[in-house]
Each structure stands twice: as C-alpha cells, then as structure tokens.
C-alpha cells in the first residue's frame, strides 16, 4: 500500500503540550458543529445489534470528538447507549473538564487505552473518529484485527473532501484556519494568556493546525486502501463493510469502515 504519510505536529513527542491542548480544543469545537453524524446511526444500529451491545468504547478520543451531540441523535432515534471515552495518554485537564460537565451517558476513562490492543473488559463497540489516519497500515490493521479477535464491533469514521468544493477548501485552508481561530478563540475555555498569545500575537498554533489539517486529509484512508487493510482479515464469522455517507455538507463525505460479528445463520455478506 503506497500512502502519503507526512508528519503531524500533534503526533510528535516534542510538540508542546500547551499547543496540543489548544489544537484539541479547536478540533473539539469543529467536531461539535453540524448534524451530519446522525447519518451514521443506521451503521451503529446494525453493528451494535450484531455485537449485542449498547455500549460505545471511543478510542483516541482527545477532547471527546462528536459525542455530546451524537449521543443526542441516538436518543432522538430511540437508541439508548452509553459511551466510554478513552485515550492512550489521558490528559488531566481533559479529565477534569469532563468531570465538571457531568454529561449523562458519557464517561471519560482515566486509564490509558491503546487502540491497537483494547483491554478486554471494555466490551462495547469500538469507534475512532478522525483518528485512524494517524496509524500506519501495519498499526491500523492491528486495531482491526484486535476487534475481530475479540468479536467486538468497530467503526472507523473520517471526513474526506468531495470534489470540487472539498478540494477548493483544502487550497484555502491557510486562510480559513487562522481566520476561524481568530473568531472562536474568545469562546474557548479555559481563557488563558497562553491561548491568546499563541493564537493572536504569535500564531504558531493556527499555523500548526493548518499543516496538520492538510496532512490529515492526505492521510485519510481511501476506500481502496481500507479494502486492502481488511483483505487479510476475511472470516466467515466476521463482516466488514466499507463505504461513504453524506456529512450533510457539499464539502466532505464520511468515509467509513465498520466490522461486526456475523449472524449465526450467515445471512450477512462480507464487503
């Protein structure tokens, strides 16, 4: 598999934690916008029914991703689920902030969770939103293999640009990202001097976010690449589905990969 896998600042161990948290806050704001995630509900319903679970184990959660609004969509659809947010390196500030929010149905776990080897006591459907592209193919396949080995459902969801507006937006990212930072920074908490310094006076964080955003779009696994990832994992007891769904905008689609245990009667076809 030939892939463009340039570095992202947030993947680097030397990248200042203050900058990393500021980017996480920005991305959390972006993830909470729009209602397109409700289009994923039929995929969730199918995978969770096959896995016989009503629990979500979100991997690489960062700042919690889309779950505050997405959980509302579940409830509006009559689907009662609980969500456990996890990260390999849970950040104390994120944990404290989430405890203060006390969102019913959502828990941010303090224990480290490696997406490549999810602890067996976390038995819900595993999800990754906008995080799968951070893993190179051999690591990404480990994540999928681990879910299959444990008969756990898994859902991979990433936004990918649509022609022509999505590609136009990529070209305009160096303008759009700093402008968006300038507009939303006063609304983000905590309102620290560092946040304003590194956004307005010395805008290193918006520039780093701009780079990471462009690289992320280049690193998103395509349909063909996802098919290559699951090709060695074909198993009559486990089903893989790959495709695209609308985000509700003309700019991006959701590229998705879901996996779940096959029904006993074998009625489910493998994608």
State the total domains in the chain.
Answer: 1
246, two tokens: 């609308």
Domain assignment present for residue 216? The answer is yes
Domain assignment present for residue 248? The answer is yes
pLDDT of the residue at 11: 86
- The tens place of each residue's pLDDT in the chain, 271 residues long, gives 667 778 899 889 899 989 998 998 888 787 776 668 999 999 999 999 999 999 999 999 876 678 888 999 999 999 999 999 998 887 766 667 666 666 788 888 889 999 999 999 999 999 999 999 999 999 999 999 999 999 999 999 999 888 888 888 888 899 999 999 999 999 988 899 999 999 999 999 999 999 999 998 888 999 999 999 999 999 999 999 999 999 888 888 999 999 999 976 544 444 4
List Cβ neighbours of 58 (8 Å cut-off, separation of 6 or more).
65, 67, 83, 84, 85, 86, 126, 127, 128, 129
Backbone angles phi, psi at 40, to 5 degrees: -85, -10
What's the CA gap between 70 and 87, in Å, rounded? 19
pLDDT of the residue at 264: 63
List Cβ neighbours of 238 (8 Å cut-off, separation of 6 or more).
148, 151, 259, 260, 261, 262
Domain assignment present for residue 226? The answer is yes
Parallel, antiparallel or unpaired: strands 154-161 and 238-246: unpaired
* Residue of 105, 122, 124 whose CA lies nearest to 114: 122
Structural domain including 183 reads 9-261
List Cβ neighbours of 139 (8 Å cut-off, separation of 6 or more).
116
Domain assignment present for residue 271? The answer is no
Domain assignment present for residue 4? The answer is no
Q: What is the pTM of this model?
A: 0.89
99, two tokens: 């405890």
Domain assignment present for residue 35? The answer is yes
Domain assignment present for residue 1? The answer is no
CATH of the domain at 237: 3.40.50.150
Domain assignment present for residue 2? The answer is no
**What radius of gyration, in Å, describes the C-alpha atoms of the chain?**
18
Check if the beta carbon of residue 65 is closer than 8 Å to that of residue 130. Answer: yes
């Amino acid at each position: 598999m030939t892939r463009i896998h340039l570095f992202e600042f947030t993947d680097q161990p030397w990248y200042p934690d203050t900058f990393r948290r500021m980017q996480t806050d920005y991305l959390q704001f972006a993830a909470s916008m729009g209602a397109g995630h409700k289009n994923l509900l039929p995929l969730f319903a199918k995978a969770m029914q096959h896995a016989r679970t009503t629990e979500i184990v979100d991997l690489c959660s960062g700042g919690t991703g889309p779950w505050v609004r997405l959980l509302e969509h579940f409830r509006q659809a009559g689907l009662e689920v609980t969500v456990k947010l996890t990260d390999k390196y849970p950040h104390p500030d994120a944990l404290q902030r989430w405890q203060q929010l006390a969102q019913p149905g959502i828990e941010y776990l303090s224990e480290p969770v490696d997406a490549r080897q999810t602890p067996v006591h976390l038995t819900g459907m595993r999800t990754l939103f906008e995080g799968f592209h951070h893993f190179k193919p051999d690591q990404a396949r480990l994540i999928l293999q681990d879910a299959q080995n444990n008969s756990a459902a898994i859902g991979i969801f990433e936004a990918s640009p649509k022609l022509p507006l999505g590609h136009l937006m990529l070209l305009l990212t160096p303008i759009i990202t700093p402008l968006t930072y300038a507009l939303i920074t006063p609304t983000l908490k905590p309102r620290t001097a560092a946040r304003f310094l590194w956004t307005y006076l010395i805008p290193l964080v918006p520039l780093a976010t701009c780079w990471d955003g462009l690289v992320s779009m280049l690193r998103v696994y395509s349909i063909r690449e996802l098919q290559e990832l699951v090709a060695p994992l074909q198993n009559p007891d486990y089903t893989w589905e790959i495709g695209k769904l609308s985000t509700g905008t003309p700019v991006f689609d959701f590229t998705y990969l879901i996996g779940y245990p096959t029904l006993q009667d074998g009625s489910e076809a493998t994608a």
